[in-house]
Chains A and B, each alone.
Chain A
Amino acid sequence: MKKITIIYLALIPLIFTTLKAQTVSQNIIIGDEIKQSFKNGFYDLEILTDDEEYFYALEIPFTAVYSMSIGGSKKYAIAKYNLENLQPVKSVPLELTFEGKDRKYEFIAVVGGEIYLFTSFQNQEQKKTYLFVENIDKNTLEASKSLRKIAELDYSEYNRYKFAQFEHSISEDESKIMIRYNLLDKGNSIINGGFKVFDSNLKELLKYEEPLPLKEDAIFTFSGYEVLNNGEVIILGKYFDDKRSLKNSTKMKKKYFLFGPRVSRRYPNYHYQAYHINSRNQLLGYSFDDFEHYITDLIIGSSPSNEIIAAGLYSDIGKMNVKGTFTCELDTEDNKMTNIQFNDLDFNYLTKGLSERESSKLNKLYQSKKEFSTNFFALEDLVFYEDGSYALLAEPFYSDYVVRGNQQTGFYTVYRYQFKNIWVLKHDKSGELEWKNKVIKRQYVEDGAIKYASYGVNSFDDNIQFMYNVTQPGIFTKYGNPKKASLHQTIINENGELSTKMILQDQRETLPFYNSDLKELKSGGVLIFSNKGRNYKFLRVKN
């Protein structure tokens, strides 16, 4: 009898543990809702990294997202969660003072498995802004306070500067970190700055502080920058002919004559430019404007064997209608592009997953050789396979804005987005299109609900896994109100075969998951986060 009692007593904690996490299917675990206390509440959460037992997250206060002017009492905090039941273990606020001086939180980065906190201090007497780094102990979750200065910006000569900006990029294998530090003027133009690359022990590998050799008669805007696994840096940007061209690229036009929404339009008034900084601190430039086709969208990635691949979409010269994919390899030894490939996408593929009405409308425009697409394209990182082949992921989206309200309530502008199907375009090592497929989805979201849209992606064993919400067609989802939205998982194997399953049917009843916040776990699988007001929870998908 005693023995049975002991067994029952031993089982009680286990029962509670299992109650705290609901297993939806064999490899999907949804943690129970966690309620934030009023005192320690946060606005957003960023999953940082994980180890065997726990995962770590950054709690972002409301004041960091909105109203940076007045400040607030809530601090950034590092939290630790149990990886099995997805429940909190500990949360420690970040102490951002040093010898009584306030430091500014810049970012947290995980390099070589270690969590590093980056803070800055603006020394108003020395007229310099310094960037410091310190380690965060995974057990105590406290910053070491053993600061190390790793970058500085001298603004003594620039009295009209706006602010110092520090950004970072982590290499695919998390072994290198690039810090980009810039002094911006009121027009957000860089007036001073540079790049530094560090290894996992934060030993400086590369430093580049020369201004980029930009064309004088054109305007350069950054599209992205990244550090490769070998520590070299790639910068990608767009050249616009003049200020008017740049303005046109963000201008919204009226869709209907009088009261219709204003829609974003794309113009072929830019061209891509890439810069590569190698380990010898040499800067090489690659211009993507001298082809028989027009490159509309571009992304750069590096293969596990450090080949630098540029891939994107192209159209006819002077048009924005996407005709196919463009790929090439950047030869950083001879500063030239090799394996340049243009792969046509047939019209059936372009219209796959669209409604009959949309397809026939597009077909008419296509036949009459008019612009038929108002879509923008979001290109994700290239997904590399073990043999060096790669998949280009492109997601068309459409944006407009409408003015709502009346004279009593006042008028306000609401931006709306439609995220469409995901194009998965697999190329072999030489850039030939091997297969293409589409993940069929449609998401209608308004401003605040944009985190419900788009998708999260990761790859494992040459499979690509997508997680995404599907919202109710035609009804724009607002923040906290995903009407009849459902969470889906799609896996595409190495042969392009696709399998989709619904994980959660009606997210009105649960908390809507932010699939764009998907975090790939070191221990395998992915983790996604959702919150609504003061409640939040996690969902874990094991591979």
Chain B
Amino acid sequence: MNNCFSTKKTPSLVFYVLCFCLFTFSKKVFGQETEEDVSQYFDDAGIQEAKNILKVDMMSIINGDYQLLWEHRFAKKVSFELGLGNVSNKGFRGRFPEFITGIPAHDISYSRLSYAIALKFYPAGVPEYLFYSINYRKRPYLGADVYDFYLGSGYQFILKTRLTFAAGIGMGFRNIQANTDPAVVSSGFSTFFPLQLSIGYIL
């Protein structure tokens, strides 16, 4: 007798491959909501582990201070921000005197380092949403060094592809110290209300 039921067949290669696939991927197929499944919910493009953001403040550029800001998270809700920049007499005209002791200001070769430092607190966690900050910065403009100390508050959003956008407002004191002799601007304290509009990239 030679019928199909009694014949002892050797399993084909396809059978072995199917078995291999079944065992290998069975966890994924049958295991409901296993570790592999939940991984997708943790895929946040590395934002949670990211501790650094490089930023450019548009309001600073408008004010003739070409600054690059580095924000670093050191606790879940707290970060510091350091900014280094350059103030030159080629920048925004409104921030510079027209003449320095009789010489047109734009004829003078002038370039100085500016810096900014801030401590920021995000109630919902760095780097998103509402933040409060304590800021200090120095801008050595041609004619006067400007020292700002202010408290700020604003919102920072994560846009797609790790881009951030922040908008904020502050209130504080400004100390202007003339740095030319004779002085071309008057020194003194004043209150001021700075604005912040920055875009950044999460590193």
Contact = CB atoms under 8 A, between A and B. Distances in A.
A and B together in one complex: yes
Nearest to A70: B75
Nearest to B38: A147
B43 A69 contact: no
Contacts of A128: 41
A297 B132 CA distance: 41
A124 B43 CA distance: 9
B38 A123 contact: no
A163 B124 contact: yes
A159 B155 contact: yes
Most B Cβ at <10 Å: residue of A71, A125, A149: A125
Interface residues of B, number: 28
A71 B41 contact: no
Interface in A110-128: 121-126, 128
Interface string B29-63: 00011110111011111011100000000000000
A69 B124 contact: no
A130 B129 contact: no
B48 A124 contact: yes
B15 to A, nearest CB: 31
A147 B33 contact: yes
B33 A159 contact: no
A162 B75 contact: no
A161 to B, nearest CB: 8
B134 interface: no
Contacts of B34: 146
Contacts of B128: 124
Contacts of B125: 122
Contact of A101 (B49, B77, B121): B49
Interface string B1-22: 0000000000000000000000
Interface of B is mostly: loop
Contact of A159 (B38, B47, B76, B157): B157
B113 interface: no
Nearest to B39: A99
Interface in A146-163: 146-149, 152, 159-163
B119 interface: no
A70 B78 contact: yes
Contacts of A161: 129
B197 interface: no
B182 to A, nearest CB: 48
Contacts, number: 69
B171 interface: no
A132 interface: yes
A148 B37 CA distance: 8
Nearest to B37: A149
Contacts of A71: 75-77
A102 B50 CA distance: 12
A101 B123 CA distance: 19
Nearest to A122: B125
B34 to A, nearest CB: 6
B42 A101 contact: yes
Interface string A434-473: 0000000000000000000000000000000000000000
A50 B124 CA distance: 36
A254 interface: no
Contacts of B38: 98, 132, 147-149
Given A101-B49, A102-B48, A146-B34, A121 B42 contact: yes
Given A69-B77, A71-B75, A126 B39 contact: no
Contacts of A126: 41, 43-44
Nearest to A130: B41
Nearest to A147: B38
A101 B43 CA distance: 9
Contacts of A69: 75, 77-78, 121, 123
B158 interface: yes
Contacts of A405: none
A70 B77 contact: yes
A99 B42 contact: yes
Contacts of B45: 125
Contact of B41 (A121, A124, A162): A121
A152 B38 CA distance: 12
A146 B44 contact: no
Contacts of B158: 124-125
A123 B43 contact: yes
A147 B36 CA distance: 9
A265 B42 CA distance: 48
Contact of A162 (B35, B42, B47, B124): B124
A211 interface: no
24 contacts: A69-B75, A69-B78, A69-B123, A70-B75, A70-B78, A98-B38, A98-B42, A99-B42, A101-B49, A121-B42, A124-B48, A125-B44, A125-B47, A125-B158, A126-B43, A132-B41, A146-B35, A147-B33, A147-B38, A149-B33, A161-B129, A162-B123, A162-B124, A163-B124
Q: Which 6 A-B pairs have the closest CB atoms?
A: A148-B33, A125-B44, A123-B44, A124-B47, A147-B38, A125-B45
Given A123-B42, A124-B158, 11 more contacts: A70-B76, A100-B49, A101-B48, A123-B43, A126-B41, A126-B43, A128-B41, A146-B35, A148-B32, A148-B38, A160-B129
